[in-house]
Amino acid sequence: MTLRFLRAAELGTLTGFVASVLGWQINLVAIQQGLERGRRAAFSVGFGAATGDFLFLAAALAGIAPLASHSWIQHGMKWIGASVILLIGIRFLLQPGGPASPKRARHHPAKSFLLGFLIVITNPLLFFVWVGVISFLVTHFQEASLLEERRVFLGTFLAGALVWFLFLSRALLHGVTKWGKERLELLSRIFSLLLIAAGIFLILENFWS
């Protein structure tokens, strides 16, 4: 019982951390928000995204994939998710004066959290990705008994994800925010263009699919 608990905790923490590191769209948005509104905003975006992944993961564990099988729901949510990414990039790119100083910009935790949450939750493909991941973990790590220790796995998954976003918001942005205003503006523009490129890519992917 104890070994199974520890295995599920280890697997959940590692899964959450790796998934957050690989979430390039969310990381770009978190960095952009951090440049504009400070480190707490970056963490809030990550927290929202991790919560969205948490819900998808919980749904995958509960085996509710048939509920998300309607093609018109998938199609609509894909367009919403791609549009959100594109509009965020355009908004940041057109913002006058580059990123505001974190000390002057107002931080709205709920808005930053919601931003990260919506980017994840409006991408139904992630749900099916998690279904595949869970299928793999259940079949290859049977000693963890994820289906029986799902609460442990889910809780440590969220903790592992937040560890990455805490590092991103505290360590990475701590060095970035010491740069001069011109470098910050250039970095902001680069991230904005990357977000726009990501949004365009996702929209084209919707056309092709």
Question: Domain residue spans in the chain?
Answer: 2-208
- The predicted structure's pLDDT at residue 103: 47
Give the mean model confidence (pLDDT) for residues 51-78: 71
pLDDT digits (tens, 9 = 90+) for 92-120: 677 655 444 444 455 577 889 999 999 89
Res. 2: pLDDT tops 70: yes
Lowest mean pLDDT among 144-148, 153-157, 180-184, 195-199: 180-184
pLDDT digits (tens, 9 = 90+) for 6-23: 888 898 999 999 888 877
Counting Cα atoms < 13 Å in the Cβ hemisphere of 87 gives: 8
- The predicted structure's pLDDT at residue 74: 57
- Contact in structure between 175 and 9 (CB atoms under 8 Å): no
